[in-house]
Amino acid sequence: MRVGLIGLPNAGKSTLFNALTVAGAATAPYPFTTIEPNVGVATVPDDRLDRVADVAGCERRVPAVVNFVDIAGLVEGASHGEGLGNQFLGHIRDVDAVVYVIRAFGGDVPHVLGAVDPVTDVEILETELMLADLATVERVQQKLARQAKSGDPALKRQLETVERVRGELERGVSARVHVSGLGDDALPEDLSLLSAKPALFVANVDEDPAARPDLTPVRTIAAERGGELVVVSAEIEEEMAQLDAAERVEFAAELGVEGALSAVVHAAFALLGLITFFSVESGECRAWPIRAGTHAPQAAGAIHTDMEKNFIKAEVVHCDDLFADGSLAEARHHGHLLLEGREYVVADGDVITFKFGR
């Protein structure tokens, strides 16, 4: 599962990507620095991992990660080939969720539209995605109209839904807002809409609070479009990512920017519909990302496919019980360590040892 960073050129996408992944992608004060997407992983900060490891006496700790893709900047008309043009469509199609990186810092870095205006930037991004979607929907609509002539009621219903979706897109409403409530087979399976992807809005603000535009309007738009707004100063975060942990904490406290980057990662994690369970094995405690609603055998499969195939039982204790009890032995003693079967739905924060055959 991957989260794509999208935005206008010079919005700070690669700078944010570097802060998140410490990958060292090229950044520069001119548009279209990024052409081919950069791909990297960000670790998910989670203090429960250290606490589980301490209680279970693990030396090694392996955090969960989120995959980020830093995509080329897109400009007005991109859906018709402006700027780097259509290639961005394919890159956005490949990700499971998007982060809109919105420029909210001033300075000498040129803005493609001449002025910093977060609301206009959001509108351009959303419009380009919706225009790309309209082209897709029109194609699908024509195909369905031909197929529905056979009289198949399911196809006729899909055609009606597609026509409604088209109407909403033409009114400028992103699919995220009107498609999510539809049932599973309401739309053709191969209809992949860019503006339906879960979205997070990140305002990349100036390090100087006095030089920041008012973010209230963009916050309102984000809420209307079904996304959260996180405020971050990517340049500061990129600099801080180079520091060691202790320096970072001190620097962040000094600047009053604690936790901004974590907020982006956590929001992206949630956007993908992920939760975390922990494993404790041979001195290693590890956080595993899985989709909310995953059953125990499939969660075991995240660790190893053999563990899913040969799944027998899961020994589960919730981390909050473990912390309260102080040790696995005490948790067992208090009846908090339970044996669960195939139907068990893993909860966020579960600490699990899988029992499997050979």
Ligand X SMILES: Nc1nc2c(ncn2[C@@H]2O[C@H](COP(=O)(O)OP(=O)(O)OP(=O)(O)O)[C@@H](O)[C@H]2O)c(=O)[nH]1
Q: Which residues bind Mg ion (CB under 5 A)?
A: 13-14, 33-34
Name the minimum Å distance from CB 225 to ligand X.
20
The residue within the footprint of ligand X, chosen from 3, 4, 6, 7 (CB under 6 A), is 7
CA distance 308 to 342: 10
Under the criterion CB under 6 A, does residue 107 sit at the interface with ligand X? yes
Binding segment toward ligand X, per CB under 6 A, in 2-10, 45-53, 59-67, 158-166: 2-10
Residue 113 burial (10 A CB sphere; 0-12, 13-18, 19+): middle
Residues touching ligand X, count (CB under 6 A): 26
Could you tell me whether strands 274-281 and 350-356 are parallel, antiparallel, or unpaired per DSSP bridges? parallel
Binding segment toward ligand X, per CB under 6 A, in 13-21, 142-150, 239-247, 303-311: 13-21
Under the criterion CB under 6 A, does residue 259 sit at the interface with ligand X? no
Identify which of residues 109 and 263 has a Cβ nearer to ligand X in the complex: 109
CA distance 356 to 308: 8
CA distance 91 to 300: 31
The residue within the footprint of ligand X, chosen from 233, 276, 279, 294 (CB under 6 A), is 233
Q: Sign of the CA dihedral 184, 186, 190, 191? A: negative
Q: How many CB atoms lie within 10 A of CB 232?
A: 24
Binding pattern to ligand X, positions 122-161, x when CB under 6 A? Answer: ----------------------------------------
Is the CB of residue 284 less than 8 Å from the CB of residue 357? no
Q: Which helix (H) or strand (E) holds 9?
A: none
CB under 8 Å to 163, separation ≥6 — which residues? Answer: 141
Name the minimum Å distance from CB 189 to Mg ion.
33
CA distance 95 to 72: 14
Binding segment toward ligand X, per CB under 6 A, in 162-170, 216-224, 230-238, 259-267: 230-238
Binding segment toward ligand X, per CB under 6 A, in 24-32, 162-170, 218-226, 314-322: 24-32
Question: Encoding tokens for residue 131?
Answer: 């225009």
* Residues counted in the chain: 358
Binding pattern to ligand X, positions 188-227, x when CB under 6 A? Answer: ----------------x-xx--------------------
Interface with ligand X (CB under 6 A)? 7, 9-15, 27-29, 31-34, 72-73, 105, 107, 109, 204, 206-207, 233-235
